[in-house]
Amino acid sequence: AQSVTQLGSHVSVSEGALVLLRCNYSSSVPPYLFWYVQYPNQGLQLLLKYTSAATLVKGINGFEAEFKKSETSFHLTKPSAHMSDAAEYFCAVSDLGGGSNYKLTFGKGTLLTVNP
Amino acid sequence: ETGVTQTPRHLVMGMTNKKSLKCEQHLGHNAMYWYKQSAKKPLELMFVYSLEERVENNSVPSRFSPECPNSSHLFLHLHTLQPEDSALYLCASSQVPPSNYGYTFGSGTRLTVV
């Protein structure tokens, strides 16, 4: 069984500051990992994904995440926050179990607030 | 444009009404999903259709009835809803398995039950 834990339901940063959103996963097999962003009253949009290639993954809007197997983590970072980054962020894991595995497991989300 | 289109974007309905939510994708995906997103609660997976067959129903009340007539369309039929059913309903699609690409989400339908 797979699970995702996002530490901190709410993170607040100043504009221009580093953004760090934490995600830890549990999976019995090598996972594929995803970060999604959701703006108010919108669906979830894929930010980036890890699919067993490079451990440092770059996504849209200047975000990146690093897969650390030893720490079972996939934290999302951005060097300098913009006001437009204010949104909710979801980490998700796909278990590569056999058969017709179709599910992503989502974390509970982290709301990012950016202060001027 | 996300590739997954949901209509309507907003819906207000009374508890005795019957309405339907529609989801459409032309991405060539073969699995479709309904999620419920309530304020301050995690995403709740409601139904999964894979290759047009329902493969998961997460103990959803019978007042929610899904329909998947083909791989491009997914409906959620609603009847005699309760105020606590007010939420953002999200549709998603993917390949099976979704491992490489994850899900593509629609923009959601904001449902208010009065």
DSSP string, A68-98: EGGGTEEEEEESS--GGG-EEEEEEEE---S
Instruction: Find the CB nearest A42 among B31, B99, B108.
Output: B108
* B91: confidence class by pLDDT, cuts 50, 70, 90: very high
* A76: confidence class by pLDDT, cuts 50, 70, 90: very high
Q: Rounded CA gap, B35 and A106, in Å?
A: 11
Task: Please report the beta strands in chain B, taking only residues with DSSP state E, as ranges in sequence order.
Answer: 4-7, 10-13, 18-25, 31-37, 44-50, 53-57, 64-70, 73-79, 87-94, 104-105, 109-113
Query: How many Å lie between the alpha carbon of A87 and the closest alpha carbon of chain B?
Result: 14
Contacts of B97 in chain A (CB under 8 A): 94, 96, 100-102
pLDDT the model gives residue A68? 93
Q: Rounded CA gap, A12 and A1, in Å?
A: 32
Mean pLDDT check: name the lowest of A27-31, A93-97, B13-17, B27-31.
A93-97
Pick the residue from chain A with its C-alpha nearest to B44.
A106
What is the total residue count of chain A? 116
Pick the residue from chain B with its C-alpha nearest to A43.
B107
B31 touching chain A per CB within 8 A: yes
* A98: confidence class by pLDDT, cuts 50, 70, 90: very low
pLDDT the model gives residue A80? 97
φ, ψ dihedrals at A55, nearest 5°: -75, -25
